[in-house]
Chain A
């Protein structure tokens, strides 16, 4: 069947079998391998992407279900050479070790901050509670998200933080 979706801001039209899961559509059909494929059982959360702005586990959504909807993956976080504050935060605070859970963690963080720009630590921990970091690097992930909350508009073309917007 033909599906038309907006992926990272661009409209894409593809023919897929109805049984294709969103995670495989993104990785194999669109080549967006930044979305990782993990446990296959909706538990680990490494496959989290944003569907109409909300985090979902893409191993438990059919590609067919995003027809007419907007999907944002980790590839759509940066604005050109400008990293999203969440990405910058993961650099500043060493939010990744092996990097496997990182795309899902960053997208959940983005959705959290869009809804609640000043989350407390408990709210951050709750937001990422459906995602597993196999390196158990939760403390630095939480700090990375706190960093992003404190630097809502950051230009970091060369990878260094430089606050250009209003502070939290």
Chain B
């Protein structure tokens, strides 16, 4: 029977209260959101916080709001809420592509976007999604509030820019005209973590060439995004040749490891193939967005 080591538990009444509790209880205190990464680690005694600060009651962190140039998502927004939001699907179809294959529907009822990004597991799907959408993360702490780009939010596996005394409150996804995005993952079985996955966003110029692109890989040993692969597309027509080249460069930039989910060659092949597929779909969606005038 897996049972966590003993700890004390307290429920935060507000974001301010959670921060005060983190400060009062010090380095051995952690916030818990959906608990679907932290509790399994505590059950295996890989994590042994002395204090858990439960933020599940903070309705103020559970929202999806469209603003003029961005979509704001509260840190406590559950996977299920994101998947069921028509607004999210219309503006950022990549989020729905990913959410459909994150764990299973029951796990998705608990897990949150804030918890996913803070967990920073190399196989976390939403990290890649937020990378390629060039999201920013709002962090609050004793020193006030700051907004951090995903590039700076990443500090490596299981580490982020959110310090122990701080909390993530919001994720911001910029809305860019004439843009499309897509995500595809290969998993061993339904509900499993990625063997490999790729995500892309593409922005088209008036003349149909690629004005901007971003490509991210999940569970493929990448720090950040595949810059050279994305660069190779810019200024070019989004043709199959261009996607093949970008797929090749993405695979080259990946550093997969051999594990129970598959050998290196297979994973590198997936990096290539999945990148081509998401580029095709993201470009098609960008074309639709250019015609209808809707977002990414």
Interface residue ranges, A against B (CB under 8 Å): 1, 17-21, 24, 40-43, 45, 48, 54-57, 60-62, 64-65, 67, 108, 126-127, 129-131
B166 to chain A, nearest CB (A): 22
Contact B106 A56 (CB under 8 A): yes
Q: Which one, B8, B103, B110, contacts A61 given CB within 8 A?
A: B110
Chain B residues with CB under 8 Å of A17's CB are: 6
Interface residue ranges, B against A (CB under 8 Å): 1-9, 11, 32, 35-36, 39-40, 42-43, 52, 54, 56, 80, 103-107, 109-110, 190-191
Contact B190 A65 (CB under 8 A): no
**7 residue pairs, one from A and one from B, having the closest CB atoms:** A130-B104, A18-B9, A130-B106, A19-B4, A40-B2, A55-B106, A54-B109
B8 to chain A, nearest CB (A): 6
Complex CA distance for A60 and B2, rounded to whole angstroms: 10
Complex CA distance for A20 and B4, rounded to whole angstroms: 8
Tally the A-B contacts, defined by beta carbons under 8 Å. Answer: 78
Q: With A62-B35, A129-B191, A130-B104 known to touch, is A56 a contact of B109 (CB < 8 Å)?
A: yes
Q: With A42-B107, A56-B109, A60-B36 known to touch, is A18 a contact of B56 (CB < 8 Å)?
A: no
Complex CA distance for A130 and B80, rounded to whole angstroms: 13
Q: Which one, A57, A64, A126, contacts B107 given CB within 8 A?
A: A57
Q: With A57-B107, A130-B104 known to touch, is A65 a contact of B56 (CB < 8 Å)?
A: yes
Contact A41 B40 (CB under 8 A): yes
A153 to chain B, nearest CB (A): 26
Q: Which one, B3, B80, B191, contacts A19 given CB within 8 A?
A: B3
A117 to chain B, nearest CB (A): 17
Chain B residue at minimum C-beta to C-beta distance from A126: B105
Q: With A19-B3, A43-B191 known to touch, is A1 a contact of B9 (CB < 8 Å)?
A: yes
Chain A residues with CB under 8 Å of B40's CB are: 41-42, 60
Chain A residues with CB under 8 Å of B5's CB are: 19
Contact B107 A130 (CB under 8 A): yes
B79 to chain A, nearest CB (A): 12
Chain A residues with CB under 8 Å of B54's CB are: 62, 64-65
Complex CA distance for A56 and B35, rounded to whole angstroms: 11
Contact B43 A40 (CB under 8 A): yes
Complex CA distance for A61 and B109, rounded to whole angstroms: 12
Complex CA distance for A108 and B40, rounded to whole angstroms: 22
Q: Which one, B39, B56, B106, B190, contacts A48 given CB within 8 A?
A: B106
Q: With A65-B54, A130-B191 known to touch, is A18 a contact of B2 (CB < 8 Å)?
A: no
Given contacts A62-B9, A62-B39, 7 further A-B contacts (CB under 8 A): A17-B6, A24-B3, A41-B40, A56-B110, A57-B106, A60-B36, A129-B190
Complex CA distance for A64 and B51, rounded to whole angstroms: 13
Chain A residues with CB under 8 Å of B104's CB are: 45, 129-131
Contact B35 A60 (CB under 8 A): yes
Q: With A40-B2, A41-B40 known to touch, is A64 a contact of B9 (CB < 8 Å)?
A: yes
A104 to chain B, nearest CB (A): 8
